[in-house]
Chains A and B, each alone.
Chain A
Amino acid sequence: MPIITGTPAASETGRTLSKEEIARYSRHLIMPEVGMEGQLKLARAQVLMIGAGGLGAPLGLYLAAAGVGRLGIVDFDVVDFTNLQRQITFSTSDVGRPKIEAAKERLAGLNPGIRIDTYETRLTSDNALDLFRDYDIIVDGTDNFPTRYLVNDACVLLGKPNVYGSIFRFEGQATVFNYPAGPCYRCLYPEPPPPGLVPSCAEGGVLGVLPGIVGAIQAMETIKLILKTGEPLAGRLLLFDALAMRFRELRLRKNPACPICGEHRTIDKLIDYEEFCGIRGEEAVPVTNGIPEMTPRELKTRLDRGDDLYILDVREPHEYQICNLRGNLIPLGQLPNRVNELDSSREIVAHCRSGKRSADAVEFLRKAGFQKVWNLKGGILAWSDEVDPSVPKY
């Protein structure tokens, strides 16, 4: 009796799916929208993820699960304890490890059949074009404006789609820029906000599951682009309000006057994005220029000595409840209206969590005529590190 053997279908390049892959991806294969052809497209696809954090976590997991043949991950950071509230690729035992290392391990465990290339580097104008060149699709999972503009510009210059997602507290945005030659990030927002106006997740907070939803949307859009199926978010800005559980859509138009993708391009190479965003350094550490500072140790010495210092805490009430130095709480936003509660004849030491908001408070008070006012350098975080480790850090 003849034995009939089936042979897996071969693509034009001769790449076939192994028996194991057919089993692994069976739920894709039984859908006509994907099928063998679609799965082979996924296997041939090369996707570069910028950022392995809140957005990168669900993104990486779903792209690996789907069988995207080559995943690149760019992230220079290490896993921090405070990341575990939302960066679900990591385990508690990963704290302290480079994110790309921990992410690669997790994703390779989920799907050993894909290629994962990691780049433990900061994305800069010097390396972006070379990094992006080999990949088909770039996914923006970053957390700051300069990098978002950099990713955008590199994608436009190289002609690659940019799957964009961003979050703030409990609100998210998603779209696909530059596909096909559609609007880009600069078409939507020609200029970034000045630094300090829009808080980061560390300063503004975020519901952990929010990047989970937005990152998964980015994964979905990436897969749709690869399969060339459905309607990608190109030309549409998806807005998500998690508290109201509402999705809205706004129309994204190409700006004919866009300096990089418009009719008269004026930007034809990558620029200094920090300068563009008005930032001199990247970190949210207190800027020293002209702001008198006191270190936590100095403060402790003076308090122990019995000096009459007025401790002004400019954080929010819910932060005061986490930990405090028994300071007098006037949230920064209320300071202009409540400045008359302060006695300018006394020595005032202002503090916040990390020293940034209190630096603003000191600058404000000095302009208002207060002579004896200092910023606690490094805030209550530094106090915990240098004076009293029993004070919790958050």
Chain B
Amino acid sequence: MAIKLEIPTALRPFAGKQSSLDLEAATVGEALKSLTNTYSDLRKHLYTDDGRIRSFVNIYVNDEDIRYLEKENTPIKDGDTISIVPSIAGGR
């Protein structure tokens, strides 16, 4: 499935400065794997040492958090957008 992956500002330096990427994948997990295979520096920002998505990084398919879908097994279809949304705290 041809989808778009949105890269948040904080992670763009590790993803070749791209703000979004076009990918082919059947599930969220596959899409993220494809991403971290191309940009291995992203792996430690997205995943813990034991391979789980970090708790301060949320992943959305279109506007829905994958925690409330099927997590990394969430299937994706053509035209979907996957967003990576990390926690930010700046205010001053």
Q: C-beta contact mask, B46-74 vs A, less than 8 Å → 1, else 0?
A: 00000000111010100111011000000
Indicate which residue in A143, A198, A237, A249 contacts B91 across the interface (CB closer than 8 Å).
A143
B59 to chain A, nearest CB (A): 10
Indicate which residue in B67, B68, B83, B88 contacts A198 across the interface (CB closer than 8 Å).
B88
Cβ–Cβ < 8 Å partners of B92 in chain A: 51, 53-56, 83, 87, 141-143, 201, 211
A162 to chain B, nearest CB (A): 13
Instruction: Check A251 against B65 for contact (C-beta < 8 Å).
Output: yes
Interface residues of B (CB under 8 A from A): 8-10, 13, 19, 45, 54-56, 58, 60, 63-65, 67-68, 83, 85-92
- Alpha-carbon gap, A191 to B19, bound state (A): 25
Chain B residue with the shortest CB-CB distance to A197: B45
- Alpha-carbon gap, A239 to B8, bound state (A): 10
A54 to chain B, nearest CB (A): 5
Q: C-beta contact mask, A119-143 vs B, less than 8 Å → 1, else 0?
A: 0000000000000000000001111
Chain B residue with the shortest CB-CB distance to A50: B91
Cβ–Cβ < 8 Å partners of B68 in chain A: 253
Report, as a range, how many residues of chain A touch the other chain: 35 or more
Interface residues in A181-220 (C-beta closer than 8 Å to B): 188-193, 197-198, 200-201, 204, 206, 211
B17 to chain A, nearest CB (A): 12
- Alpha-carbon gap, A240 to B14, bound state (A): 20
Name 5 A/B residue pairs within 8 A (Cβ), A-sorted: A143-B91, A169-B10, A189-B56, A192-B56, A239-B85
Instruction: Check B63 against A168 for contact (C-beta < 8 Å).
Output: no
Instruction: Check B89 against A191 for contact (C-beta < 8 Å).
Output: no
Instruction: Check B55 against A191 for contact (C-beta < 8 Å).
Output: yes
Cβ–Cβ < 8 Å partners of B10 in chain A: 168-169, 171, 198, 204
Instruction: Check A251 against B63 for contact (C-beta < 8 Å).
Output: yes
Of A55, A189, A204, A244, chain B has the most CB atoms within 10 Å of the CB of A189
Indicate which residue in B63, B87, B90, B91 contacts A204 across the interface (CB closer than 8 Å).
B90
Q: Does A364 contact B (CB under 8 A)?
A: no
Main secondary structure on chain B at its contact with chain A? mixed
- Alpha-carbon gap, A350 to B5, bound state (A): 38
Cβ–Cβ < 8 Å partners of A206 in chain B: 90
Cβ–Cβ < 8 Å partners of B65 in chain A: 250-253
A144-B89, A189-B58, A239-B83 given; 10 more Cβ-contact pairs under 8 Å: A142-B89, A143-B91, A145-B87, A169-B10, A171-B88, A193-B86, A237-B85, A253-B65, A253-B68, A333-B13
Cβ–Cβ < 8 Å partners of B90 in chain A: 54, 143, 166-168, 200-201, 204, 206, 211
Instruction: Check B87 against A198 for contact (C-beta < 8 Å).
Output: yes
Instruction: Check A198 against B86 for contact (C-beta < 8 Å).
Output: yes
Cβ–Cβ < 8 Å partners of A19 in chain B: none
Q: Which 6 A-B pairs have the closest CB atoms?
A: A53-B92, A168-B88, A143-B91, A143-B92, A191-B55, A171-B9
- Alpha-carbon gap, A141 to B89, bound state (A): 9
Indicate which residue in A189, A241, A251 contacts B64 across the interface (CB closer than 8 Å).
A251
Instruction: Check A250 against B9 for contact (C-beta < 8 Å).
Output: no
- Alpha-carbon gap, A316 to B60, bound state (A): 32
- Alpha-carbon gap, A204 to B85, bound state (A): 17
Indicate which residue in B54, B67, B85, B89 contacts A145 across the interface (CB closer than 8 Å).
B89
Q: Does A148 contact B (CB under 8 A)?
A: yes
- Alpha-carbon gap, A180 to B91, bound state (A): 24
Cβ–Cβ < 8 Å partners of A241 in chain B: 9, 19
Instruction: Check B63 against A166 for contact (C-beta < 8 Å).
Output: no
Indicate which residue in B45, B58, B63 contacts A249 across the interface (CB closer than 8 Å).
B63
A281 to chain B, nearest CB (A): 17
Chain B residue with the shortest CB-CB distance to A168: B88
Q: Known interface pairs A190-B55, A193-B86, A239-B85. Does A142 touch B63 (Cβ–Cβ under 8 Å)?
A: no
Cβ–Cβ < 8 Å partners of A166 in chain B: 88-91
